[in-house]
Amino acid sequence: MKISIIGGGNMGEAMLSAVLDKRLSPKEEVAVSDISQSRREHLKQKYWITVTDDNRQVVGTGDVVVLAIKPQNLAEVIAGLNGAFNSPQLVVSIIAGARIDTLCQGLGYRQVVRVMPNTPAQIGEGMSVWTATSEVTEEQRKWAGSILGAMGRELYVEDEKCIDMATAVSGSGPAYVFLLAEAMAGAAIKIGLSYDVALELVEQTILGSAKFMKQSDKLPAELRRMVTSPSGTTAAALAKLEEGRFTELITEAVSAAYHRARELGS
């Protein structure tokens, strides 16, 4: 499987690294295009792949062509790629907010997959939610699944509307976790812990809790109750969070992200 990536930013590089690490394609059959010369040089020196600033050139070499550009560059890039694709090439878009119809019309091509990845994909622990046009073949779906699976977990959904919903949960979700970590570390410092100790406690607590939840057969609510003794320290903390409308605020935050995702794609 020959893979071409248009856009060598963080997510483009995450996909590149995963593809090479999992040996889905040899480096000789991977190409990346990017407008930044420094970025091209970085990728060439680190991965020993073909790089160029010519998007149509890399399109001509790939069985799978990944669009990993910034949303603000979408119109210009897809206009330059119109008519460049031929079946059985597969287009995989990880462009935030770019709807499948927009991509298909702009490219003049319909074998397209749309993906919502997230930041942990950069360390192979990502969550990618994706969907595909009806023209995408079963073999092409396997290509997409293997590439996305190399970056972590992947989940296929039939309805494209679920992509906007996933954006609000898993796409934006890492920022929610980072904010929680920031707040917890700050609070730990205020009660007397050093910065280094506070950060280590918070990082391992979040990591361990996530792994425990993943491996458990219990729902999050059950796990929360397990660690909350009546009138204990955890109960006091949770009571204060609910006094501040913690659960409602998370619901409102996810809803705000979802509605913004829909606006960006309209």
Q: Is the pLDDT score of 252 beyond 70?
A: yes
Residue ending a domain, among 158, 193, 223, is: 158
Angle CA 222–225–229, to nearest 5? 160
- Is residue 16 domain-shared with residue 144, that is, in the same domain? yes
pLDDT recorded at residue 51: 95
pLDDT at 123 > cutoff 90: yes
Q: Is the pLDDT of residue 265 over 90?
A: no
Same domain, 55 and 127: yes
Same domain, 154 and 177: no
Boundary of a domain, candidates 127, 158, 189 = 158
Residue 89 lies in a domain: yes
**Is 111 in the same domain as 16?**
yes
Q: 181 φ, ψ to 5°? A: -60, -40
pLDDT value at position 12?
A: 92
Find the mean pLDDT for residues 239-260.
96
Q: Give yes or no: residues 142 and 63 share one domain.
A: yes
Residue 127 lies in a domain: yes
> What tokens were used for 35?
């407008």
Instruction: Say if residue 199 is in the same domain as residue 144.
Output: no
- 266 pLDDT above the threshold of 90: no
Q: Comparing C-alpha atoms, which of 77, 83, 111, 87 is closest to residue 5? A: 77
Whether 178 and 250 map to the same domain: the answer is yes
8 A C-beta contact, residue 140 and residue 90: yes
Would the pLDDT of 97 be above 90? Answer: no
> Which H, E and C letters describe 9-66, residue by residue?
CHHHHHHHHHHHHCCCCCHHHEEEECCCHHHHHHHHHHHCCEEECCHHHHHCCCCEEE
When pLDDT is averaged across residues 137-153 and rounded to a whole number, the result is 96
Nearest to 104 by CA among 140, 78, 125, 123: 78
Assigned domain for 17 exists: yes
Q: Are residues 189 and 231 in the same domain?
A: yes
Domain boundary among 158, 191, 213: 158
Angstrom CA distances, 43 to 26, 39, 57, stand at 15, 6, 17
pTM of the model: 0.91
The enclosing domain of 245 has a CATH number of 1.10.3730.10
What integer pLDDT is reported at residue 63 of this predicted model? 94
Query: Which letter does DSSP use for residue 102 in this model?
Result: H
Q: Which amino acid is at 205?
A: T
Three-state DSSP at 201 gives helix
Chain centroid offset of residue 102 CA: 20
In a domain, 164, yes or no: no
Q: Which domain holds residue 81?
A: 3-158
Please, what is the end-to-end C-alpha distance for the chain in angstroms? 33
> Is position 163 within any domain?
no
Query: What mean pLDDT do residues 45-69 have?
Result: 94
Condensed to tens digits (0 to 9), the pLDDT of residues 170-196 reads 999 999 999 999 999 999 999 999 999
The residue-averaged pLDDT of 215-239 equals 96
> In CATH, what number is assigned to the domain containing residue 104?
3.40.50.720
The pLDDT of 72-92, averaged and rounded, is 93
Examine residue 167 and state whether it is found in any structural domain, yes or no: no
The answer as to whether 220 is a domain residue is yes
Convert the pLDDT of each residue in 148-160 to its tens digit: 999 999 999 999 9
- C-alpha atoms less than 13 angstroms from C-alpha of 226 in its C-beta half-sphere: 10
| Residue 192 located in a structural domain | yes
**131 and 188 assigned to the same domain:** no
- Which is it for strands 126-132 and 112-116: parallel, antiparallel or unpaired? antiparallel
Mapped onto helix, strand or coil, the DSSP state of residue 5 is strand
Q: Which residue has the higher pLDDT, 97 or 252?
A: 252
140 and 243 assigned to the same domain: no
Determine the pLDDT at residue 161.
93
Q: 186 with 154, same domain?
A: no
Report, as an integer, the average pLDDT of 114-132.
Answer: 95
What average pLDDT does the segment 208-213 reach?
Answer: 97
- Tell me how far apart the alpha carbons of residues 71 and 77 are, in angstroms, rounded to a whole number: 10
d(CA 266, CA 238): 39
**Number of domains within the chain:** 2
227 & 123 share domain:
no
